Amino acid sequence: MTLSTAFTELFGIRHPVALAPMGGPAGGALAAAVSEAGGLGLVGGGRGDLGWLDRELAIVRAGTTRSWGVGFLTWAAQPSVVEHALSFGPTAVMLSFGDPAALARLVRRAGVALILQVTDLAEARQALDLGADVIVAQGTAAGGHGGSPGLSTLTFVPVLADLAAPVPVLAAGGIADGRGLAAALVLGAAGALIGTRFLATPEALVDPAAVKAIIEGSGEQTERSTVLDIARGVPWPRRYPARALRHPFVSRWQGREDTLAADADARTAYADGIEAGDWPATPVWASEAIDLITDLRPAADLVTDLVEQAERALRPAPRR
């Protein structure tokens, strides 16, 4: 049994699995490993740091002969940075969070596949108008940033699959094993885009302490908030909170975000907490699905496990 879908056919790949372009952790080695294993590896270009991109895009280009791509945060990435990334020859560019119109035109003009991640139906309709080749339906279980109020993955994916057809939809948010991948396909998605599970791989560029916290943590200990971005002074649009492991600063400021934004002393206290080792320099962004993440696995093994488990889950059972 092979899990062939409109998504695998579009990119000429074996498995309906995409690595989420996690800004920072999803470097060239991780993306290349996922692509070589038969999925679609997406480098996490984030806000578009040129030095980081030059290094990691060179690594992915040298590390795989298969399809790969790169993702950017739409609200932050400059057109010149996306153009620079295009010069490395990606098969796809993914854009998330913000109005993608200008960057999307640039990607389409280059003849490169356009993947747009959406968090609600208005964003989905715009993605279709812009001619997205693939739409990622991100539900609220997702690790890292997502839409507010947002919809759960289970409800958002089938609605979007109906709306977007024949454009393939990938499900994202809370998928960390093959049962989640199987469920995504049953819901009408053409595959899954997976983030947090790939943090627990040797190839991810991530603090080992964060990986340990994810492996030991529970989804019940994650929370969505804008507090940490305000405290860090990162100008994320407020409609995109982020899911992270519980953090003392969030407990202190949740519900008083405007006060925090106006309180320079409080933001200094956040920086002091990092300096004192009270909390990590980067929050531990993590999915609601982390109870399913119990070990560090090479990315290629993870792709194989995901697909084999999904195939088993999709086999007709004589009796349930």
Ligand X SMILES: Cc1cc2nc3c(=O)[nH]c(=O)nc-3n(C[C@H](O)[C@H](O)[C@H](O)COP(=O)(O)O)c2cc1C
The binding site for ligand X (CB under 6 A) comprises: 20-23, 25, 44, 46, 71, 73, 96, 117, 138, 141-144, 172-175, 193-196, 285, 287, 289
For the record, the structure tokens of 22 come out as 């996690």
Closer residue to ligand X in complex, CB, 20/167: 20
Closer residue to ligand X in complex, CB, 30/32: 30
Count the Cβ atoms, other than its own, within 10 Å of residue 172: 31
Per-residue HEC secondary structure of the chain comes to: CCCCCHHHHHHCCCCCEEECCCCCCCCHHHHHHHHHCCCEEEEECCCCCHHHHHHHHHHHHHHCCCCEEEEEECCCCCHHHHHHHHCCCCCEEEEECCCCHHHHHHHHHCCCEEEEEECCHHHHHHHHHCCCCEEEEECCCCCEECCCCCCCHHHHHHHHHHHHCCCCEEEECCCCCHHHHHHHHHCCCCCEEECHHHHCCCCCCCCHHHHHHHHHCCHHHEEEECHHHHHHCCCCCCCCCEEEECCHHHHHHCCCHHHHHHCHHHHHHHHHHHHCCCCCCCCCECCCCHHHCCCCCCHHHHHHHHHHHHHHHHCCCCCC
Closer residue to ligand X in complex, CB, 3/192: 192
CB 39 within 8 A of CB 19: yes
Closer residue to ligand X in complex, CB, 21/90: 21
Of 88, 128, 92, the C-alpha closest to 108 is 92
**Smallest gap, in angstroms, from Cβ of residue 194 to ligand X?**
5
Closer residue to ligand X in complex, CB, 13/204: 204
**Smallest gap, in angstroms, from Cβ of residue 49 to ligand X?**
11
Closer residue to ligand X in complex, CB, 82/193: 193
Closer residue to ligand X in complex, CB, 135/172: 172
**Smallest gap, in angstroms, from Cβ of residue 229 to ligand X?**
12
**Smallest gap, in angstroms, from Cβ of residue 110 to ligand X?**
19
Closest CB to ligand X: residue number: 195
Closer residue to ligand X in complex, CB, 214/315: 214
**Smallest gap, in angstroms, from Cβ of residue 71 to ligand X?**
5
CB 43 within 8 A of CB 56: yes
**Smallest gap, in angstroms, from Cβ of residue 128 to ligand X?**
18
Closer residue to ligand X in complex, CB, 152/259: 152
**Smallest gap, in angstroms, from Cβ of residue 295 to ligand X?**
16
CA atoms within 13 A on the CB side of 230: 24
For the record, the structure tokens of 276 come out as 């004192």
